Amino acid sequence: MSSASTSRKLAASLSVATAAFVVAVPIAASSTTAASAAEITSIADIQGTSDTSPLVNKTVTTSGQVTAVYAEGGLRGYTIQTAGTGGENDPTPGISDGLFIYSPDTVGSVHIGDYVEVTGTISEYHGLTQMTVAQGKIRQVPTRIIPVQPYKGAFPDTSAGREELESMLLQPTGNITVTDNFNTNRYGEIKLTSGTTPLRTATDVVAPGEAAKAYEAANAEKDFIVDDGATVDYTRGGKDIPLPYLSEQNPVRVGSAVTFTQPTVLLYSFDEWRLNPTEPITGASNPATIPATFTNTRTAAPEKVGGDYTIASFNVLNYFSTTGDELTGCTFYTDRAKNPITVNSGCDARGAANDENLKRQQDKIVAAINTMNTSILSLEEIENSAAFGKNRDEALNTLVAALNDDAGFERWKAVPSPEALPGQEDVIRTAFIYQDDQVQPQGDSEILLDSDAFNNARKPLAQTFEPVGSKVKGDEFVAIVNHFKSKGSGSGVNADQGDGQGASNADRKKQAQALVAFADQEKKENKTDNVVLLGDFNSYSKEDPMKILADAGYINIGDQFDAGYSYVYSGRQGSLDHVLASPSMFKQVTGADVWNINSVESIAFEYSRYNYNATNFYQPNAYRSSDHDPKVVGFNLRADAPISFTDVPGNSPFYSEIMWLAQSGITQGWDDGTFRPHDNISRGAMAAFFYRMAGEPEYNAPAQSKFSDVSTTHPFYKEISWMAEQGITTGWADGTFRPEAPVERAAMAAFFYRVAGSPHYVAPRSAEFSDVQPGGAFYKEISWMHSKGISTGWDDGTYRPADPIKRDAMAAFIYRYEHNVAGKK
């Protein structure tokens, strides 16, 4: 199968054999009879110039070098490629020179490197051009050939480009990233995409509807699979075969960078383009035969989010202390020894089958929560023990006891259920736990009771908290945990509308509206404007329910702080889990992070897959303790000194960057509560900014100033001296620093370049800005700034190097530097 598209362009730097290099191919002994001396049809003629071979249902003879053999594992065939093709040599531009030979009769008689003549019938098998070869229709030809070389270059992003390489040997280069590993546990396949980031869920990026459809259509062209060269199901008939690719040391996470170290063959099956190793692999294969390596991106703990306090949301994936063996009617998922592991159906329990498996699940959840060590934690998908005739808080208290036992002291407490409860509830619920040496609940918790919006979901649970020992009115805040209706079912107005939001979106919109009203009620009752909404909203960031909350004034903290994404579904990464803050509460937020311990991990590491495969992947650690990732937020509670500026309203062009600058401690503004965004920033203030960006390192300024115009009593003497000693500034030739002078845009580029350590960088020969020419002052530094996305210049193509920097623009430059270069969130 091929395409009449533009011929592929191969990089000139590829390492291949020269066209004149000829070798003798070793010939394996063959018991097959010779094919008749028919006219040879080239593989390119078989593939043709469309996505269907022009020779379908025709019997032809062709020849080529064997590049891959799949004698075991279910593919029952091999690939051949026209001798001398691949690498830089492309005698048939736009047409594939490879062919899959389906031949259970002859696959056992060929070896990689053989040169063969085969006769068979051409067909299209679910999109793959193949030849079916019967016993006696193969001849191994002793000849001297130019061997096949793998194509090395970027993997094509289009189906047309991929069809040009169908069944050919290739070893992709460039940036490639894991975008899905859901089927790694079952079929030994890993979904990839070109670039450095996984594919995103459309409605986490763009609005639902036509924009989302277009975004996903573009996504669908980008992914491809690295496979195992087999059709084995490792969770069923292949349970006793060690699963390939995965291990505790090599978890193959979504977001992992991929490097191909061995050639593969590109095949098409099950509606996917697949890079197969040249022979089937398993977890017991020689590591040298594994075609790719993957970076291990696991982190031991969430990133620091600052603040005196932290709050987090964690969906604990059906944590049930009532196990299936306690109930009548439960059926179970079993391991390969037929031992029950988790509840399948037949009863209301949804978690572990027995105490042994509950402990496995609990150990992972405990490891995750105690490592997060947050002041307050909301929980979703924890058992509502009242559904089993027990105290409603039994499962919650069981988890808290396990957390404290692991910690070795009474670290955690649970917020008790309120007296007023819904008449009917789901078997799963939400809850709060907290550390009582940091915060204390004020009053009782409260569940939203007077709304029908949540009849098919978990009703919101509110609790007011304040810091331990607080004597300042206004430090209290209301936290409301949520778990909206899922996307999996719905009819009528709740049917999937095809706009990217899934089923039951109409109900989730009603739930968002009811939540806003509930939060307003809680604000009034508790006499505070400080509110945090958190939990599993089952809505991506750009969907209707999140817009309703945003229109009500709630700020998505994860989006504002670029915290990361909490969920992976169908090879797309996004966030269903959110932490939002009212404007007054947001002013006190210091940072946020999604700790990717679950969604990006293979399900093989989950307790529910214990002993499913010959390789037992279970470990009592935090990784794959759930299917959602926890989202952690840092904040301060200083009602007497909130972070806000009277002259920076929420609709200011650089509002988020200025607030981030303040929350990061880089600026405090003026005593009158202003930031003065349109003022020029002085060189002295710039020194202070850089010093704070560096974390205010210990530094003793010299007794004598280096600069004639900066006295030792200058407000920024220490920072200016530090900046000079770090080589960030040299001052002026006359020995001055000119601390009150504005920072010009050209000098600003030089400062950032030096702060970054003056990295090796070759500036482009052609100017990127019409007013900054090669060889001019700070040309290299300005070009580097542009390459890092710190400055984009003006719409008219100028940089304006002599213009002074305004304080709001400097906030944007620092924000971009810290995120794009320093790698902070």
Quickly list DSSP for 313-367.
Answer: EEEEEEE-SS-GGGSSS-EEEE-TT--EEEEEESSS--SBSSHHHHHHHHHHHHH
Rg over alpha carbons for the chain, rounded to the nearest Å, is 31
Predicted pLDDT at 696: 86
Given a contact cutoff of 8 angstroms between Cβ atoms, the answer to whether 605 and 597 are in contact is: no
The Cβ of residue 308 has, within 10 Å, a number of other Cβ atoms equal to: 14
Q: Please give the average pLDDT of every successive group of 10 residues along the chain, which has 825 residues.
A: 33 29 37 53 95 95 98 97 90 92 97 97 96 97 92 93 96 97 97 98 98 96 97 95 96 98 97 97 95 97 95 98 98 97 97 98 98 98 97 98 98 97 95 97 96 96 92 83 97 97 98 98 94 98 98 96 96 98 92 97 98 96 98 80 74 86 79 86 90 88 92 91 91 92 90 90 89 89 90 88 90 89 70
The Cβ of residue 260 has, within 10 Å, a number of other Cβ atoms equal to: 21
Among residues 401, 320, 342, the alpha carbon closest in space to that of 366 is found at 401
- Which amino acid makes up residue 432? F
What are the tokens at 37? Answer: 């001396």
Residue found by looking up tokens 């810290």 in the block: 818
Length of the chain: 825
**All residues at 6 or more sequence positions from 217 whose CB lies less than 8 Å from its CB, including other chains:** none
Among residues 250, 261, 279, 296, the alpha carbon closest in space to that of 171 is found at 261
Strand partners, 132: 102, 121
Q: Kindly tell me the sign of the dihedral angle through the C-alpha atoms of 451, 457, 458, 464.
A: negative
Q: What is the C-alpha to C-alpha distance for residues 107 and 91, in angstroms, rounded to an integer? A: 28
Predicted pLDDT at 33: 40
Q: What is the C-alpha to C-alpha distance for residues 527 and 521, in angstroms, rounded to an integer? A: 10
**All residues at 6 or more sequence positions from 415 whose CB lies less than 8 Å from its CB, including other chains:** 431, 432, 433, 434, 441, 445, 463
Q: What is the C-alpha to C-alpha distance for residues 395 and 727, in angstroms, rounded to an integer? A: 59
What are the tokens at 136? Answer: 């006696």
Strand partners, 62: 118
Among residues 309, 294, 345, the alpha carbon closest in space to that of 324 is found at 345
Given a contact cutoff of 8 angstroms between Cβ atoms, the answer to whether 100 and 128 are in contact is: yes
Given a contact cutoff of 8 angstroms between Cβ atoms, the answer to whether 389 and 322 are in contact is: no
**All residues at 6 or more sequence positions from 12 whose CB lies less than 8 Å from its CB, including other chains:** 88
Strand partners, 531: 478
**All residues at 6 or more sequence positions from 275 whose CB lies less than 8 Å from its CB, including other chains:** 155, 170, 172, 224, 225, 226, 227, 260, 264, 265, 266, 291
Given a contact cutoff of 8 angstroms between Cβ atoms, the answer to whether 353 and 340 are in contact is: yes
Given a contact cutoff of 8 angstroms between Cβ atoms, the answer to whether 246 and 602 are in contact is: yes
Predicted pLDDT at 152: 94
Return the HEC string of 707-733: CCCCCCCCCCHHHHHHHHHCCCCCCCC
Cα distances (Å, whole numbers) of residue 113 to 60, 145, 146, 378: 22, 10, 11, 59
Q: Tell me the pairing of strands 223-226 and 439-447.
A: unpaired
Torsion angle defined by CA atoms of residues 803, 807, 808 and 811, in that order, rounded to the nearest 10 degrees: 110
Predicted pLDDT at 734: 93
- Which amino acid makes up residue 330? C
Structural domain boundaries of the chain?
23-163, 174-294, 309-325+348-635, 655-820
What angle, rounded to 10 degrees, do the helices at 807-820 and 683-693 form? 30
Among residues 451, 406, 410, 412, the alpha carbon closest in space to that of 431 is found at 412
CA 516 remoteness from chain centre: 30
Given a contact cutoff of 8 angstroms between Cβ atoms, the answer to whether 633 and 305 are in contact is: yes
Q: What is the C-alpha to C-alpha distance for residues 552 and 704, in angstroms, rounded to an integer? A: 56
Among residues 509, 440, 423, 426, the alpha carbon closest in space to that of 479 is found at 440
Query: In CATH, what number does 309-325+348-635 get?
Result: 3.60.10.10
Predicted pLDDT at 518: 98
Cα distances (Å, whole numbers) of residue 571 to 174, 232, 502, 706: 20, 21, 16, 57
- CATH class as words, domain 23-163: mainly beta
What are the tokens at 278? Answer: 């040249």
Predicted pLDDT at 638: 59
DSSP E strands in 469-595: the ranges are 477-483, 531-536, 555-556, 567-569, 572-574, 577-581, 589-594
What are the tokens at 171? Answer: 């070893």
**Concatenated DSSP letters of 34-52:** PPP-PPBPPHHHHH-SSSS
**All residues at 6 or more sequence positions from 220 whose CB lies less than 8 Å from its CB, including other chains:** none
DSSP E strands in 371-423: the ranges are 376-383, 413-414
**Concatenated DSSP letters of 88-149:** TB-SSTTS--EEEEE-TTTGGG--TT-EEEEEEEEEEETTEEEEE--TT-EEE---EEPPPB
Q: What is the C-alpha to C-alpha distance for residues 75 and 104, in angstroms, rounded to an integer? A: 9
